[in-house]
């Protein structure tokens, strides 16, 4: 499955932020729930979006269609789990003999668990595939925070040079073929690899000289304030502190009641750590000027993305601590039971399709 | 260290109070937490590394090398090669070996990032891949220390050492990359996390999981890495060393007071070579 640059012929004006918000929301939902009924709905919606977007963007056919990929991953995960995990009470069959890790009961619970894993993995693949279909590569670069301008420059150079590097590879290959070179052994790749590398290094030298001649990095970069640099570390430390009660739940009981308190507050520590980290990055990048060849505007349609993910995500968040808690955190072991299905949650998941409104704009 | 903690956190979480009946579906430490921590660590590391590499020469060199490496990965995807073989580690290891740990880390992490952008390989696995590939490049100078101390530069032993190192990373890369899925996606079985047996049991079950699902795949990567380093390592190393010398020039900006005796302390603009 590959987008193969299909994104570049579409969505020149699409704002990447709502799409990334949508992606994060889908990832959170896929991470939260283990209810295969909800997962089925999510994966179904993602498949529909993939099919419609592939037609809209005229995406080049990949090795495998999204639907086939979903079926393949789910099947593989189910079979693998069924054969290797013998836990569960509903026995479907038995593999006789003493085959290591294979012999034993084949259970319905293992099948369901494997199927659930397969759907989560397919959901992950599909959600990123959708983003790759919609957003051009430059939109990803625009998302790089200003504090990482050097890395963005490197990535921009690399992305710009890839087509010419590939072209150069073909030219070298043609030139070597004319000289009678044939690819028979591994060592025959050397006459192709070395000119490619050397010409690339020469270009790097020329580029470095050109960049310097045009004044790139000629001005002394203000060094980051110690406080801002320290804030990055503090943000990370707070995040780790927030995760400690999750990593060592019982080991933290030595602090008695306060451990429970910390545990309850750990989500806030995670958020606070992340915010401190992000603020420090923002501050350190605030003095860097970013030229924009093509700016993005926030339109009403962009709110569709936010709504499309906001609605199901809010219901998931409500249920995570409410009466339908069990329906989200479903576990087929030890005895399989049909998971609880909340109609409201099910209907809200169909809202994921709302992002398609955002893609119906004209290609610039 | 933070990256290691993120990857090992699920193990620690299960060992310290995780309940077997809950571990499959209701674990306190989810893949989301792992991704969050790993992402922050990667951002911090990348920020620190790029802060120390603002030289336009290094940026250009890194950009072009990442482009070459991403092209190699693109070819790897276009021409299916059995197993986990990927030609990208060849350049990551050699550039890390020649240009140092920071360069190696950035080369590894950015190769994975850029190639994922162009091949549609962006996913939740990407921060882990970037971090691990960065570690591959960052650890390559360890070989350089050994080679320098034993004065083996340019010898066959240097190539053997690098080939062995790349072969080892071929296996370790796969073993590390499994860590973000194994604790969360494997149902109770001989290969899943056995929290009641302690560390030994945990390592044994992971080893079994690795042997069953990944070893053959990773052996192909390991053998491919060794073959590439053995066949092409020497000429590529020579080219990288030569370029390293050519890249050691400094642009002196207008108005800079030059201490160098050749300029007699005058204000000037020019190019100064650092090559001795």
Q: Is B119 on the interface with A (CB under 8 A)?
A: yes
Range with lowest mean pLDDT among A35-44, A57-66, B120-129: A57-66
Question: Which one has a higher pLDDT value, B75 or B19?
Answer: B75
Whose tokens are 């570690």? That residue is B135
Q: Is the pLDDT at A255 greater than 60, yes or no?
A: no
Q: Is the pLDDT at A9 greater than 50, yes or no?
A: no
Most confidently modeled of A22-26, A296-300, B75-79? Answer: A22-26
Do B13 and A147 count as a contact with CB atoms less than 8 A apart? no
Q: What is the mean pLDDT of chain B?
A: 77
Do B189 and A87 count as a contact with CB atoms less than 8 A apart? yes
Output DSSP code: residue A95: E
Q: Is A201 on the interface with B (CB under 8 A)?
A: yes
Q: Which of the four pLDDT bands, split at 50, 70 and 90, describes residue A264?
A: low
Question: Which one has a higher pLDDT value, A215 or B112?
Answer: B112
Q: What distance in Å separates residue A361's CA from the closest CA in chain B?
A: 23
Q: What distance in Å separates residue B167's CA from the closest CA in chain A?
A: 17
Instruction: Please name which of A234, A90, A208, A149 lies closest in space to residue B50, comparing C-alpha atoms.
Output: A149
Q: What is the pLDDT of residues B164-218, one digit of tens each?
A: 999 999 999 988 888 777 766 555 556 666 556 667 777 787 888 888 778 888 8
Q: What distance in Å separates residue B6's CA from the closest CA in chain A?
A: 9
Q: What percent of chain B clears pLDDT 90, i.e. is strictly above it? A: 18
Output DSSP code: residue B155: S
Collect all residues with Cβ–Cβ distance below 8 Å to A293 and sequence separation of at least 6. A138
Do B190 and A333 count as a contact with CB atoms less than 8 A apart? no
Q: CB A268: neighbour CB atoms within 10 A?
A: 11
* Dihedral of alpha carbons A315, A316, A318, A323, sign: positive
Three-class SS of residue B268?
A: strand
Question: What pLDDT sits at residue A43?
Answer: 94
Residue of A nearest to B253 (CA): A218
Q: Is the pLDDT at B59 greater than 60, yes or no?
A: yes
pLDDT mean over A319-337: 76
Do B64 and A250 count as a contact with CB atoms less than 8 A apart? no
pLDDT mean over A43-63: 78
**Of residues A113, A207, A233, nearest to B187 (C-beta):** A113
Beta strands in chain B (DSSP E): 249-257, 267-273
What residues in B contact A208, CB-CB < 8 Å?
56-57, 59-61, 247
Cβ atoms of B189 and A101 closer than 8 Å: yes
Q: What is the mean pLDDT of chain A?
A: 79
Output DSSP code: residue A287: T
Helix (H) or strand (E) segment spanning residue B98: helix B88-99
pLDDT mean over B13-37: 59
Q: What distance in Å separates residue A299's CA from the closest CA in chain B?
A: 26
Residue of B nearest to A63 (CA): B78
**Of residues B60, B75, B123, nearest to A207 (C-beta):** B60
Instruction: Please name which of B139, B232, B224, B219 lies closest in space to residue B171, comparing C-alpha atoms.
Output: B219
Q: What is the 3-state secondary structure (H, E, C) of A49-94?
A: HHHHHHHHHCCCCCCCCHHHHHHHHHHHHHHHHHHHCCCCCCEEEE
What residues in B contact A86, CB-CB < 8 Å?
189
pLDDT mean over A242-247: 75
**DSSP assignment string, A320-347:** HTSTTHHHHS----SS--PPP--HHHHH
Q: Which of the four pLDDT bands, split at 50, 70 and 90, describes residue A53?
A: confident
Question: What pLDDT sits at residue B23?
Answer: 42
Q: Which of the four pLDDT bands, split at 50, 70 and 90, describes residue A187?
A: confident
A-B contacts at Cβ under 8 angstroms: 252
Q: Which of the four pLDDT bands, split at 50, 70 and 90, describes residue B276?
A: very low
Question: What pLDDT sits at residue A128?
Answer: 85
> Contacts by B246-254 with C-beta closer than 8 Å and gap 24+?
B246/A205, B246/B275, B247/A205, B247/A208, B247/B57, B247/B58, B247/B61, B248/B273, B248/B274, B248/B275, B249/B57, B249/B273, B249/B274, B249/B275, B250/B274, B251/A212, B251/A218, B253/A218
Cβ atoms of A312 and A345 closer than 8 Å: yes
Helix (H) or strand (E) segment spanning residue B144: helix B141-149
Do B106 and A277 count as a contact with CB atoms less than 8 A apart? no
Range with lowest mean pLDDT among A207-216, B71-80, B148-157: B71-80
CA separation for the pair A237, A277 (Å, rounded): 10
Q: What is the pLDDT of residues A57-92, one digit of tens each?
A: 766 555 568 888 889 888 988 888 888 777 788 888
What stretches of chain A show up as alpha helix (H) in DSSP?
A: 16-32, 36-57, 66-84, 108-134, 137-142, 149-178, 190-213, 226-247, 257-285, 300-320, 325-328, 343-349
Q: Is the pLDDT at A253 greater than 70, yes or no?
A: no
CA separation for the pair B141, A28 (Å, rounded): 39
CA separation for the pair B118, B66 (Å, rounded): 12
pLDDT mean over A250-278: 69
Q: Residue A96: phi, psi to the nearest 5? A: -75, 175
Question: What pLDDT sits at residue A299?
Answer: 78
Q: Which of the four pLDDT bands, split at 50, 70 and 90, describes residue B226?
A: very high
Residues 76-135 of A with CB under 8 A from B: 77, 81, 84-87, 101, 110, 113-114, 117, 120-121, 124-125, 128-129, 131-132
> Contacts by A359-362 with C-beta closer than 8 Å and gap 24+?
A359/A10, A359/A11, A359/A14, A359/A52, A359/A53, A359/A56, A359/A134, A360/A56, A361/A11, A361/A13, A361/A14, A361/A301
Three-class SS of residue B107?
A: helix
Residue of A nearest to B75 (CA): A166
**Of residues B61, B118, B123, nearest to A125 (C-beta):** B123
Range with lowest mean pLDDT among A3-12, A50-59, A166-175, A211-220: A3-12
CA separation for the pair A358, A355 (Å, rounded): 5
What are the tokens at A93? 């069959």
Q: What distance in Å separates residue A136's CA from the closest CA in chain B?
A: 9
Q: Is the pLDDT at A314 greater than 50, yes or no?
A: yes
Q: Is B106 on the interface with A (CB under 8 A)?
A: yes
Beta-bridge mates of residue B256: B268
pLDDT mean over B95-109: 91
What residues in A contact B51, CB-CB < 8 Å?
150, 224
Do B74 and A1 count as a contact with CB atoms less than 8 A apart? no
What are the tokens at B231? 């066949």
Question: What pLDDT sits at residue A197?
Answer: 87
Q: Which of the four pLDDT bands, split at 50, 70 and 90, describes residue A300?
A: confident
Q: CB B262: neighbour CB atoms within 10 A?
A: 8
* Dihedral of alpha carbons A182, A185, A188, A194, sign: positive
CA separation for the pair A264, A266 (Å, rounded): 6
Q: Which of the four pLDDT bands, split at 50, 70 and 90, describes residue B136?
A: very high
Instruction: Please name which of A174, A179, A137 lies closest in space to residue A158, comparing C-alpha atoms.
Output: A137
Question: What pLDDT sits at residue A7?
Answer: 39
Q: Residue A344: phi, psi to the nearest 5? A: -60, -45
State the complex-level ipTM.
0.77
**What does each C-alpha distance from B238 to A168, A180, B191 come to in angstroms?**
22, 26, 45
Instruction: Please name which of B225, B45, B71 lies closest in space to residue B140, comparing C-alpha atoms.
Output: B225
Residues 255-274 of A with CB under 8 A from B: 270, 273-274
Question: Which one has a higher pLDDT value, A1 or A116?
Answer: A116
Three-class SS of residue B79?
A: coil
Question: What pLDDT sits at residue A132?
Answer: 82
Question: What pLDDT sits at residue B33?
Answer: 77
Cβ atoms of A145 and B54 closer than 8 Å: no
Question: What pLDDT sits at residue A80?
Answer: 83
Q: What distance in Å separates residue B120's CA from the closest CA in chain A?
A: 6
């Amino acid at each position: 499955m590959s987008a193969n640059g299909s994104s570049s012929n579409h969505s020149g004006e699409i704002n990447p932020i709502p799409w990334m918000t949508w992606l994060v929301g889908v990832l959170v939902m896929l991470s939260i729930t283990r209810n295969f009924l909800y997962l089925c709905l999510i994966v179904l919606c993602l498949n529909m979006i993939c099919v419609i977007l592939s037609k809209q963007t005229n995406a080049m056919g990949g090795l495998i269609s999204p639907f086939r990929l979903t079926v393949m991953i789910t099947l593989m995960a189910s079979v693998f789990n069924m054969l290797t995990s013998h836990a569960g009470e509903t026995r479907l069959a038995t593999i006789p003999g003493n085959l290591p890790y294979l012999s034993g009961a084949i259970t319905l619970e293992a099948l369901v668990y494997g199927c659930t894993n397969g759907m989560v993995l397919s959901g992950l693949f599909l959600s990123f595939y959708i983003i790759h279909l919609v957003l051009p590569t430059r939109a990803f670069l625009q998302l790089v925070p200003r504090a990482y301008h050097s890395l963005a420059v490197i990535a921009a150079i690399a992305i710009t040079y890839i087509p010419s590097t590939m072209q150069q590879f073909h030219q070298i290959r043609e030139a070597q073929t004319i000289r009678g070179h044939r690819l028979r052994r591994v060592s025959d790749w050397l006459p192709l690899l070395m000119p490619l590398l050397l010409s690339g290094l020469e270009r790097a030298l020329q580029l470095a000289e050109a960049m310097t001649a045009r004044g790139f990095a000629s001005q002394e970069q203000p060094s980051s304030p110690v406080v801002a640099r320290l804030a990055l570390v503090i943000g990370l430390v707070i995040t780790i502190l927030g995760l400690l009660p999750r990593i060592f739940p019982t080991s933290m009981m030595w602090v008695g009641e306060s451990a429970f308190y910390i545990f309850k507050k750990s989500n806030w520590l995670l958020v606070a750590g992340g915010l401190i980290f992000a603020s420090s990055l923002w501050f350190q990048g605030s003095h860097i000027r970013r030229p924009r060849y093509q700016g993005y505007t926030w339109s009403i349609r962009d709110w569709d993305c936010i709504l499309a993910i906001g609605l199901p995500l809010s219901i998931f968040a409500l249920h995570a601590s409410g009466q339908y808690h069990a329906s989200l955190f479903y576990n087929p072991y030890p005895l399989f039971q049909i998971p609880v299905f909340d109609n409201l949650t099910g209907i809200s998941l169909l809202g994921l399709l709302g992002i398609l409104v955002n893609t119906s704009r004209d290609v610039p | 260290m933070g990256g290691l903690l993120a990857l090992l956190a699920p193990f620690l979480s299960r060992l310290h109070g995780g309940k077997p009946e809950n571990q499959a579906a209701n674990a306190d430490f989810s893949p989301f937490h792992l991704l969050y921590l790993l992402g922050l660590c990667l951002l911090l590391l990348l920020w620190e590394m790029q802060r120390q590499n603002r030289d336009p020469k290094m940026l250009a060199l890194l950009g072009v090398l990442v482009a070459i490496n991403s092209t190699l990965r693109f070819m790897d995807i276009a021409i299916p090669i059995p197993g986990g073989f990927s030609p990208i580690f060849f350049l990551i290891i050699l550039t890390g070996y020649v240009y140092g740990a920071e360069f190696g880390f950035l080369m590894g992490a950015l190769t994975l990032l850029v190639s994922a952008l162009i091949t549609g390989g962006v996913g939740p696995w990407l921060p882990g891949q970037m971090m691990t590939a960065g570690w591959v490049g960052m650890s390559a100078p360890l070989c350089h220390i050994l080679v320098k101390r034993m004065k083996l530069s340019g010898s066959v032993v240097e190539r053997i050492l690098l080939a062995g190192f790349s072969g080892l990373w071929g296996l370790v890369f796969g073993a590390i990359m499994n860590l973000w899925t194994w604790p969360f996606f494997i149902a109770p079985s001989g290969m899943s996390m056995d929290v009641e047996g302690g560390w030994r049991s945990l390592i044994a079950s992971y080893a079994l999981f690795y042997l069953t699902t990944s070893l053959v795949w990773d052996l192909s990567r390991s053998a491919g890495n060794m073959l590439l380093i053995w066949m092409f390592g020497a000429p590529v190393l020579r080219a990288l060393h030569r370029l390293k010398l050519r890249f050691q020039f400094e642009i002196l900006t207008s108005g800079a007071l030059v201490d160098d005796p050749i300029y007699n302390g005058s204000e000037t603009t020019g190019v100064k070579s650092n090559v001795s």
